[in-house]
């Protein structure tokens, strides 16, 4: 019983870290609003209103929250086993391209079949893209951050090129976009799908063999290997899962909202996911809250520029500050445990 409480305390300590980080970020953000000569209260209430003030506002918030959450899960599942999934934007670009190309090439096939093929292609593209830095890291010892960041640039420019000069480039338009795809997924389906993904993610992580192996390998690779768990396989599986989750996010965006590829549509989405994962401390529920917060900031930013003179860059600043402070452990549960352990020794 006593340890149940201490477990609870540990969770509270961990979540209070994020809460403090968010509060500090908003506080500093408030000072910045003062500097442009506006009232922080007005600014924040405008954001609040923009995020939750009307049915449309709430729909937008949910949309962005789902987008951020899938990216957060994608980041987190890799992060759990020590793989820093920073090539998320690359995964978004490749899975978007996969979908549009499949749609383009399968013209004439029945609609549902096309949709299934597009989804499979997107998942495969996301997974493969996520595997590139992972294989480089686990098989060759290359730093995944360098490879990942380069991959982001590479795919961004490839995507840019293809939607400008290729069969999937939109004709007779002045902006760089791809052709429009006929396939749609209704927004309510995406919302329900996202909820199912959350439940499945939490269940797989906590109650299944792959989830257990991922957790154990992430905590202690040497132990896992000596126990007969093929750590490299587990780590590569995590990378595949991360890539598929990114692809799912991309499907929601392309099939649910855009129906085409905009130039640099993925910009900043990886960072959003990473921030939410930090806020949520990699727990499925925590990341939901983190995503909701970032989703609300995103959808609230519209009204901020309408109602006040505050530039919408405030949102980016606050988000950056949250990211910065969320990586700081104000209260470190592990250290508190360690202190206790030393005492026992």
Partner 1 sequence: MEPIVQLKEIVKKFPGVLANDHVSLDLYPGECHALVGENGAGKSTLMKILYGAYTADGGQILIDGKVHSYNVQGARDLGIGMVYQNFMQVPELSILENVILGDPPKKGIAIDYKQAKEKVSVLLRRFGLKADPDQPLKYLSVGERQKVEIIKVLFFGARILILDEPTAVLTPQESEELFRIIDDLKADGDAIVFISHKLREVVRVGDRITVMRNGRVVQEGWMRGDANETDIARAMIGKRDVDLIQNENRGTDVEPILEVRNLWYFDELGIAKLKDLSLKVNKGEILGVGGVEGNGQTELINTLIGLLKQSHGEIIIDGEDVSRASVSKRRAAGIGFISEDRMTVGLVLNGTIEDNVISGNEYNKAFSNGVVLNKDSISAYCEDLIDRYSIFGMTKGKEVGQLSGGNMQKIVLAREIERGPKVLIAAQPTRGLDIGATNFVREKLLEEKEKGTAVILVSADLEELMSLSDRMVIFYEGQIQGEVTDIAHTTEEEIGLLMGGAGSER
In angstroms, the CA 25 to CA 308 distance is 20
335 binds partner 1 (CB under 8 A): no
For position 4 contacting partner 1 by CB under 8 A, the verdict is yes
Binding residue for partner 1 (CB under 8 A) from 21, 97, 102, 229? 229
The least distance separating partner 1 from the CB of residue 207, rounded to whole angstroms, comes to: 5
Residue closer to partner 1 (CB basis): 5 or 175 = 5
Which tokens sit at 128? 């493969």
**Residue 220 interacting with partner 1 (CB under 8 A):** yes
Question: Is 141 a residue that touches partner 1 (CB under 8 A)?
Answer: no
Is the separation of the CB atoms in 181 and 100 below 8 Å? yes
- Per-residue x/- mask for partner 1, residues 156 to 195, rule CB under 8 A? ----------------------------------------
Site membership for partner 1, residue 213 (CB under 8 A) = yes
CA distance 108 to 311: 47
Instruction: Answer yes or no whether residue 207 interacts with partner 1 by CB under 8 A.
Output: yes
Spatial CA neighbour of 223 closest among 81, 116, 103, 120: 81
DSSP 177: B
Instruction: Please provide residue 169's backbone torsions phi and psi, each rounded to the nearest 5 degrees.
Output: -75, 140
Residue of the chain from 99, 123, 162, 224 that contacts partner 1 (CB under 8 A): 224
The verdict on 140 binding partner 1 (CB under 8 A) reads: no
Report how far residue 304's alpha carbon sits from residue 316's, in angstroms, rounded to the nearest whole number. 13
Is residue 329 close enough to count as binding partner 1 by CB under 8 A?
no
* Cβ–Cβ under 8 Å, residues 209 and 216: no
Beta carbon of residue 210, minimum distance to partner 1 (angstroms, whole number): 8
DSSP-derived 3-state class of residue 262: strand
Give dist(CA 198, CA 201) in Å, integer: 5
Q: Which is nearer to partner 1, 202 or 260 (CB)?
A: 202
Decide if residue 9 touches partner 1 (CB under 8 A): no
Of 224 and 294, CB closest to partner 1? 224
CA–CA dist 244, 242 (Å, integer): 5
What is the chain's alpha carbon radius of gyration, rounded to the nearest angstrom? 21
Is 3 a binder of partner 1 (CB under 8 A)? yes
Rule CB under 8 A: which residues touch partner 1?
1-4, 6-7, 207-209, 212-213, 215-216, 219-220, 222-230, 334, 337, 339-345
């Amino acid at each position: 019983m006593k340890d149940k409480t201490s477990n609870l305390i540990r969770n509270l300590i961990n979540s209070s870290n994020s809460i403090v980080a968010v509060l500090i970020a908003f506080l500093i953000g408030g000072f910045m609003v003062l500097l442009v000569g506006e009232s922080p209260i007005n600014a924040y209430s405008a954001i609040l209103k923009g995020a939750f003030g009307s049915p449309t506002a709430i729909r937008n918030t949910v949309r962005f929250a789902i987008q951020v959450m899938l990216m957060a899960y994608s980041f987190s599942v890799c992060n759990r086993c020590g793989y820093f999934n920073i090539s998320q934007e690359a995964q978004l670009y490749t899975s978007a391209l996969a979908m549009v190309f499949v749609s383009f090439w399968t013209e004439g096939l029945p609609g549902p079949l096309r949709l299934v093929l597009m989804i499979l292609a997107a998942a495969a593209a996301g997974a493969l893209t996520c595997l590139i830095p992972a294989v480089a890291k686990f098989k060759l010892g290359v730093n995944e951050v360098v490879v990942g960041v380069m991959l982001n640039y590479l795919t961004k420019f490839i995507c840019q090129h293809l939607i400008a000069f290729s069969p999937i480039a939109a004709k007779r338009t002045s902006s760089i976009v791809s052709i429009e795809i006929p396939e749609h997924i209704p927004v309510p389906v995406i919302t329900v799908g996202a909820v199912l993904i959350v439940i499945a993610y939490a269940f797989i992580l906590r109650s299944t063999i792959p989830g257990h192996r991922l957790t154990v390998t992430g905590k202690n690779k040497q132990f896992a290997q000596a126990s007969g768990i093929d750590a490299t396989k587990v780590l590569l599986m995590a990378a595949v899962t991360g890539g598929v989750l990114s692809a799912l996010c991309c499907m929601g965006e392309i099939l649910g909202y855009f129906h085409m590829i905009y130039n640099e549509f993925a910009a900043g989405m990886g960072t959003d996911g990473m921030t939410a994962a930090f806020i949520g401390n990699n727990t499925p529920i925590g990341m939901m809250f983190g995503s909701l917060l970032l989703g609300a900031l995103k959808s609230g930013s519209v009204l901020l520029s309408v109602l006040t003179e505050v530039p919408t860059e405030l949102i980016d600043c606050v988000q950056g500050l949250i990211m910065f402070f969320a990586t700081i452990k104000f209260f470190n549960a592990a250290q508190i445990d360690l202190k206790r352990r030393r005492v026992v020794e």
